[in-house]
Amino acid sequence: MSENTVNLDRFDALVQSQEEGIEFDLVDEVGKPIGLKLGMVGPDSKRARQAMKAVAAEFSAKAEEKGTLLAPEDEEEERMIAFLAKVTTHWSPDPSIGGKAVSFSEENAKTFFTRFRMFYEQAQARAVRRAPFAKG
């Protein structure tokens, strides 16, 4: 490799890692794992790019229905929840809420992230950063 070049091959591996996704433990308020793992793809993955487009289209259509281009203040969090639900691939095991097991689906993920802000924040921290997907 020449001194006058910069090897960018490692970034292909980073994108591949984002396509494959990661699985991580959700933790409670003191940082202790609660026994629930989330799977998620990275921000450069095809699924994440498609999710961004889908969320933008969904909220654009809502704005058009309302006859406004201005987003309400609370819409930013709602958009992120929709995005997180699309880039989350699974959870394991199924969580129990109100005594009932909740299987993974995009809609259930939206409800989960809306209800449990601490888990929304943990997922968001990974979904928008590349570092959690770096290998080695």
At residue 1, the pLDDT reads 58
What pLDDT digit, counting tens, does each position of 28-74 carry? Answer: 999 999 999 999 999 999 999 999 999 988 888 877 777 766 666 66
**Would you state the pLDDT for residue 2?**
65
- What pLDDT is recorded for position 71? 62
Using CA atoms, how far residue 114 sits from 1, 12, 97, 110, 123, in Å, is 50, 34, 13, 6, 12
- Residue 87, token pair as written in the block: 């880039």
Q: pTM of the predicted model, to two decimals?
A: 0.86
- Residue identified by tokens 């959690």 is 132
1: three-class secondary structure by DSSP: coil
Q: What is the pLDDT of residues 16-38, one digit of tens each?
A: 999 999 999 999 999 999 999 99
**Per-residue pLDDT, 70:** 62
